[in-house]
Structure 1
Amino acid sequence: MALFGWTKASQREVSNDSWPFWLYSLLVVCVVAVYITVDLSGDTLHNGDIDDQLRGLFVRLLLSSSGWYDLSLPMVRGPEIYISPWSRLIDAPYATIAFALHYFFGQERSIDIAFKVWPPILGVIFSILIVSVLKRLYPSKADLPVKTLLGLLIVMPYAFWEFSPGRIDHHNLQIVLLLLVVYGISRFDMVGGATVGVGVSVSTAVGLETLPISALTLIALSCTWVFDVRGSRTMLGSTGIACLVMSPMLMLVLIPPAHYWTMSADAFSMPDIQALSGFGVKRSEDLTPWAKRRTDPFIDLLFRLSQAPFRPSAEGRNGAFREACSYHLGW
């Protein structure tokens, strides 16, 4: 079945011969569980590395005394204290689970439970996303028999081992986010576009190693609009809106106010925020009727603010922001 052109009519055509979504999801979860069990049978995790230990140290520092924005490692000096580029988005679920269990098990035991619980939860989400994508691409039983599904799963051990208990670095979440982007593309509608925008934005905030894939995804979606693929206008417009909304939200969550306009090596910072918000404004401006030619004052203000850091001003960057705001607000 073609990726584009999925309609309610075509959905009805295969509804009588479709495979059971939740039964297939349970099958995938069971296969993932088997692979994880094999991984745990050894002395060390197959995909485990030193980054898991360092991530554990970060979570412990967060729960002890360091603040949310404090990414320093006092024990690492060269000669200054080392500031990590890693994202707190990875630490948040572990710290939340450990904090919730602290009263019952104590800090160290609750942290250990969090490290063992959260990766398999991501594995379940990963399994459901796999089946969701396959449901979009191969909706009928004839398209995807059980033996074909098992054949797909049997060649994915390295991906599944990223969800073993104790594998707490950011790779498992990145896999889930990239699969979320694939799911959004498989939908190719307004919800799918928003899903792609959220996945690309959060993935960039988690780690910049996926930035080339995210960039190629946005370029490919733009090409569908260039070649007038059906639904591309809605798809790309909702992707842009999601990027426009998510980028400032992630900035507020992950970056301290004093560093909003700084560039950080290997970390989510202003260049990435500008790229995502600029794409979002431009796609919204070009592809959605309510923002066409920036006739809406709020959209025009967002556009001007997103361009302010790169617009020359006699008063510097702050002056550019004041000029952007004064256009509408009279500041």
Structure 2
Amino acid sequence: MRADRRIRVGLIGYGYSGRTFHAPLIGSVADLDLRLVGSGAPARVLADLPDVAVVADPVAVATSEAVDLVVIATPNDTHAPLAQAALAAGKHVVVDKPFTLDLAEARSLADAARRGGRLLRVFHNRRWDSDYLTIRQAITEGRVGRVRHFESHFDRFRPEVRDRWREGPGPGSGIWYDLGPHLVDQALQLFGLPERVSAHLARLRPGAQADDWAHAVLDYPGLRVVLHASMLVAGGSPRFLVHGEAGSLVKHRSDIQEQQLLAGLKPGAAGWGEDPDGPEIHDATGRVARAPALAGDQRGFYRAIAEALARAPVDQTGALEAVRVMACIEAALTAARTGIAVGLTLAPEERGP
């Protein structure tokens, strides 16, 4: 028996996501111990994390006897094979979004996790963003009545195409694979599975090699959910718009935790996740009120992982949620290609109650 019962973590990938999000958030959770990093740039890793071991081979991390939990923060087309290797080695697994490239890969991973009794989750850290938490609370409290129209935007202003795999022509690139999973996951958390998905994807910037504009609509009975992402929005686009039978809600600004991490702020430091941008609530008479925004705290993702691993048997809900998100991502890709609204090809057991 090990004297230190903390969960030993191996992180594969130390690019933008691994360095900006995963390593700081893992390091902020007392029950997690980052032991091993897979990276081809060991000097960069050790400059930030001098006490970890670094290896170049990602499979070596996925199968290492020195770790219990494998976190995969690598290019999207490597997610499924690395996760399969880790699950086959008996590891618990966290995969950065998107979970996989398609629904078939998602199902294969979920089946492997279920057979092995391993935890499998997608890094949906945006469930702990201030903007989403604030909107969810307002909807739950009935501040605008029954919701009939919901819009969620991830809009940025990056007019120059950058030389990175996320914007290249390879598999799993483009804004829908990059930001679509967050948009879809939040919508499913709020409203459940839609009946149909329609979508349009486009390349709007000169020289774009992958979609940099995405617009999807999820159809529910009596509700339409609009998910939008663009690289050419300098301002004026609210993060959330919610229209209900009793009024409307507008949340203008986005969560600031990513900017705080980039600035070097440690998770949990003073001001962490605080959001001064309370939502506007418009009632039926035209009056506008302000409500306070909840603070965000993406440490909640890895705290939930640690709590889940402390229980037995391992809850497989996270793997099923990953499959459902991937079904929506794939349906949107098909709808954008065909111009026809597409239903979700999920089995009854995948849909849940």
Please tell me the TM-score bracket, short chain as reference: under 0.3
- Higher RCO, 1 vs 2 (CA within 8 Å, ≥6 residues apart): 2
Q: Report the TM-score, using the length of structure 1 for normalisation.
A: 0.25
Q: Report the TM-score, using the length of structure 2 for normalisation.
A: 0.24
The answer to which structure has the higher strand fraction is: 2
The answer to which structure has the higher helix fraction is: 1
